[in-house]
Amino acid sequence: MKRAVVVGSGMGGLTAAILLAKEGWSVTVLEQHTRAGGFLHRFFRRGVGYDTGFHYVGGARPDQLFGRAMKHLGVYDDVKWHPLDPDGFDVLRFPGFDFRVPVGVDRYRDRLVEAFPEERDGIDRYIAHTRAAVHAYGWFNLDDTVPPESILPFEQESVLDVTRRFFKDPRLTMVVAGQAALYGVPPKDAPFGLHAVVTDHFMQSATSIEGGGDRLTFALVRRLRALGGEVKLKRRVVSIEVADGQACGVTTADGEHYPADLVVADIHPRASLDLLPPGSVRPAYAARVRDARPGLAHVGAYLRVDGDLSVLGNHNLYRFASWDPSSVERPATPEETPFYFLTCPGQRHPAGVPGADQVVLGLIYTDYARFADARAAGEGAYRDLKQAVLDRFLATMLADHPGWSVVDAEASTPITTERFNGAWQGAAYGHYHSVGQMGRYRLPMVSKVRGLVNVGQTVGFPGICGAMMSAYVVCGELTGGSARLMAEVRAS
């Protein structure tokens, strides 16, 4: 029996593990943390769970891509899926203006026209361009007849290039491009193809998971075990062994050796590189990986809030301090919070535990270097910066919601993310998925080391679905071509 070791138990790693186990491989997943799931994991305070990365997913109905894949992996019925408000699953809030993003591209188009009637022609051209971009992605449509290079033109233009081409009113540009905050790349750099696929995916349906993202992790782990695979926690991989250009196993910090015919690295390719013996890859590839820019870092706010939270209801709130597209990327500091994301899982589904209905999760983008410098300056400087950024965010949030009061507030910083998720520079989405780093400049999933592949957001798309798809793409390559795997998912 062929043996695979998967390094990291995020969505990409667990998906790859199940796909390989289904093909008859013996699979061991090694996770450095005390909990499986990567960004799907939750942490607990006084029995109340807080999601660290998972908020909602697109296309999870049983007849859509993510839903079909969950059925194909064998976990769909093990998770309670909760549809967000189809009439407005995301509320984009700008100064004096709310835009509610609905399910359904036609409804979205009508709502844009209603808000910006004089831009009707541009809106229709934008929607047509979006549809063309979406069709260029074969795996996204489970269509193996689409040549892979058809995505290239759509990844060479930025979201801002496209919106400025079609729209006159800069506010309309921001209403459309502001959704870039969803995947952490500002509109000036985000490839249009990425934007089209991600927004289309959510407009098919937007869904959360009752009980939090780790319910999906547990379902995936149970499924893997049923297929004979295993997940081992608190196992930090310290090296990937290579013999004659072929990966042959990994070693963990506690000295255990896991021989393998295939190593699946669900970690940043830069981290994989550091685990390989020197000279395993050509200097050109090593330089490319080391020069790659990581995605935006964030501060996560884990709150319990008193007050009327029904305004957060069955949707997410994206709040922009200004109409300036740069507000997506301008880092939160002690002086300003240019953007925040809020969601309240307890308003959507039964909380189960007392206090869980008060949980509000916040996310703001920030500057990794500033936190790293503070950390280097000492524990006090780091703690002060963390508190000051959190306080500014809370003050901004409370000014927007005067009836609320904060009962409990805890924050994670890019340094926290780096420690618990091994995420390089605390980047929640791994790679900076920009025009300059996608398309032909994308980091490859397969490597020059035979038997070593990369999965996860960095080599795929940002988000849970992007991580999952990376595993499908690479396992398609490893197990006899994508066409068969696509057909299986289509039939699921």
Residues near other proteins (CB under 8 A): 149, 152, 282-285, 287-288, 440-441, 444, 446-448
The pairing of beta strand 262-265 with beta strand 257-259: unpaired
Q: Which is nearer to other proteins, 229 or 269 (CB)?
A: 269
CA-to-CA distance for 118 and 83, rounded, in angstroms? 33
> What span, in angstroms and rounded, lies between the C-alpha atoms of 192 and 155?
6
C-alpha distances in Å from residue 38, one per residue of 29, 35, 121, 274: 12, 8, 43, 20
Least CB distance to other proteins at residue 279 (A): 9
Q: In whole angstroms, give the CA distance from residue 457 to residue 220.
A: 18
What tokens appear for 21 in the block? 């186990």
Yes or no: say if 209 and 81 are a contact pair by the CB < 8 Å rule. yes
Residue closer to other proteins by CB (options 428, 452) is 452
CB of 369 to other proteins, least distance (A): 23
Q: Measure the CA–CA gap between 155 and 455, rounded to whole angstroms.
A: 20
CB of 469 to other proteins, least distance (A): 20
CB burial class (10 A; 0-12, 13-18, 19+) of residue 492?
middle
Strand duo 237-243 + 230-232: pairing? unpaired
CB of 461 within 8 A of CB of 197? yes
Element (H, E) at 298: strand 297-306
CA distances from residue 341 to 300, 301, 302, 317, 477 in whole angstroms, order as listed: 10, 10, 12, 6, 37
Closer residue to other proteins, CB minimum distance, 149 or 308: 149
Q: Nearest approach, Cβ of 262 to other proteins (angstroms)?
A: 17
User: Is the Cβ of residue 104 or residue 444 nearer to other proteins in the bound state?
Assistant: 444
Nearest residue (CB) to other proteins, 287 versus 407: 287
Crossing angle between the packed helical segments 482-491 and 65-73, to the nearest 10 degrees = 100
Q: Which is nearer to other proteins, 178 or 476 (CB)?
A: 476
Q: Residue 284 CB, nearest distance to other proteins (Å)?
A: 4
Query: How far is C-alpha 270 from the chain's CA centre?
Result: 18
Which of 15, 447 has the CB closer to other proteins? 447
| Minimal distance, residue 108 CB to other proteins, in Å | 33
Smallest gap from residue 152 Cβ to other proteins (A): 7
**Minimum distance, C-beta of residue 476 to other proteins, in the bound complex (Å):** 17
Closer residue to other proteins in complex, CB, 117/279: 279
Report the residue number, 268 or 319, with the smaller CB distance to other proteins.
268
Identify which of residues 337 and 447 has a Cβ nearer to other proteins in the complex.
Answer: 447
Query: With respect to other proteins, which residue has the nearer C-beta, 445 or 469?
Result: 445
Pairing of strands 206-209, 81-83: antiparallel
300 and 415 in contact (C-beta within 8 Å)?
no
Q: How far is the CB of 286 from other proteins (least distance, A)?
A: 9
Q: Smallest gap, in angstroms, from Cβ of residue 361 to other proteins?
A: 38
The CB-of-367 to other proteins minimum distance in angstroms stands at 26
Q: For residue 195, how far is the Cα from the chain centroid?
A: 13
- Which string of DSSP letters, residue by residue, matches 123-146? HHHHHHHHHHHHHT-TTTTT-TTS
The torsion angles phi and psi of 141, rounded to 5 degrees, stand at: -100, 5
154 in Cβ contact with 191 (< 8 Å): yes
Q: How far apart are CA 179 and CA 318, in angstroms?
A: 8
The whole-angstrom separation of Cα 187 and Cα 164 is 11
47 versus 148: smaller Cβ distance to other proteins: 148
Pairing of strands 26-30, 3-7: parallel
Q: How far is the CB of 288 from other proteins (least distance, A)?
A: 6
